């Protein structure tokens, strides 16, 4: 991986991590096009630069993380399901990450769900709430487990989960941001540990690439979060639903007729 490739992936991470379009799916596809996806460091990089995105949430919502113990209890409750299933299904998830077609199919299916959810929300927005209960937080955590499948989108799954628990669009999106902090930190730490066990060390060049990647992801994620919340309040999820469907279909067409997308 060179610095240009690192910056491209970091921009994709920053733009898509908190949008309901699947950051992992987009990075899998981008690294496949750049022919670097089968590199072990690339697999580490695409997870480790999530730290930059995490920092953007802490910077933008720092007051929320000072509200008290009940807030952290809800995050812990919501985090537990994905932590358990992520550990149990890690090898299976890694195999799915090597299949861009899975990403494409999940993009299309998720887009259809978003169109249906958006229509449903137009009739329920006035009855929505701003904070999940502990039971609601656990159910949102179960939705997050669905996002272990590449292309589903952690943000999409948890936002939909929040909406099913009565949250309004803005509150569902923000709880998704907050839940990303422990989830992405744990995923990054686990991936780093696996990388060190497998490779023994990390070079100075790789450290520099990670630093650049996290910095770019941090800056872009701040812009993306602010833009997403504003857009969501005005327009809902419809555009994201159409984007997912169109992107998924284009990927399937490219793979089938022009450029077989494989990272094996």
Confidence at 264, pLDDT banded by 50, 70, 90: very low
- Give pairs for 197-206: CB < 8 Å, separation 24+: 198/40, 199/40, 206/41
| Predicted TM-score (pTM) of this structure | 0.82
Please indicate, yes or no, if residue 263 is contained in any of the structural domains: no
Domain total in the chain: 1
Please indicate, yes or no, if residue 60 is contained in any of the structural domains: yes
**Whether pLDDT at 125 is above 70:** no
Query: Is 22 in contact with 103 (CB distance < 8 Å)?
Result: yes
pLDDT tens-place string over residues 178-217: 998 998 888 888 878 888 887 777 888 989 999 999 999 9
Which of 124, 71, 100, 130 lies closest to 247 in space, CA to CA? 100
20: helix, strand or coil: coil
Please indicate, yes or no, if residue 264 is contained in any of the structural domains: no
Domain that holds residue 55: 3-258
Kindly report the CA angle at 31 between 30 and 36, in degrees rounded to 5? 155
**pLDDT at position 151, please?**
79
Dihedral of CA atoms 40, 153, 264, 220 in degrees, nearest 10, equals -50
| Element of type H or E holding 7 | helix 3-16
**Whether pLDDT at 223 is above 70:** yes
**pLDDT at position 209, please?**
94
Contacting residues for 54 by C-beta, under 8 A, at least 6 apart: 180, 181, 184, 185
Alpha-carbon gap, residue 191 to 207, rounded angstroms? 15
Alpha-carbon gap, residue 85 to 120, rounded angstroms? 29
Please indicate, yes or no, if residue 253 is contained in any of the structural domains: yes
pLDDT tens-place string over residues 48-105: 898 898 899 999 998 888 888 899 999 999 999 988 887 777 666 666 665 678 888 8
Please indicate, yes or no, if residue 105 is contained in any of the structural domains: yes
Alpha-carbon gap, residue 85 to 216, rounded angstroms? 30
94: helix, strand or coil: helix
Q: 135: alpha, beta or left, given left = phi > 0 and alpha = psi -120 to 50?
A: alpha
């Amino acid at each position: 991986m060179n610095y240009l490739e690192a910056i491209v992936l970091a921009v994709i991470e920053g733009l898509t991590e908190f949008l309901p379009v699947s950051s992992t799916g987009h990075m899998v596809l981008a690294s496949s096009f750049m022919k670097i996806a089968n590199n072990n460091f690339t697999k580490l990089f695409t997870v480790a630069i999530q730290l930059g995105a995490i920092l953007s949430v802490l910077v933008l919502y720092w007051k929320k993380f000072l509200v008290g113990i009940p807030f952290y209890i809800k995050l812990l409750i919501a985090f537990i399901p994905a932590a358990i299933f992520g550990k149990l299904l890690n090898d299976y998830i890694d195999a799915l990450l090597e299949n861009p077609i899975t990403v494409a199919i999940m993009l299309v299916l998720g887009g259809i769900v978003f169109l249906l959810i958006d229509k449903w929300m137009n009739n329920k927005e006035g009855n929505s709430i701003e904070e999940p209960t502990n039971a609601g937080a656990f159910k949102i955590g179960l939705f997050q487990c669905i996002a272990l499948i590449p292309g589903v989108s952690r943000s999409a799954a948890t936002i939909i989960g929040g909406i099913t628990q009565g949250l309004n669009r803005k509150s569902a999106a923000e709880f998704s941001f907050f839940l990303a902090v422990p989830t992405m930190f744990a995923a990054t730490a686990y991936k780093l540990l696996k990388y060190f066990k497998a490779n023994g060390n990390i070079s100075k060049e790789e450290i520099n690439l990670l630093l650049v990647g996290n910095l770019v992801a941090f800056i872009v994620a701040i812009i993306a979060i602010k833009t997403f919340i504003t857009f969501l309040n005005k327009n809902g999820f419809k555009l994201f639903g159409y984007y997912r469907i169109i992107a998924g279909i284009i990927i399937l067409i490219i793979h089938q007729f022009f450029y077989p997308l494989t990272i094996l």
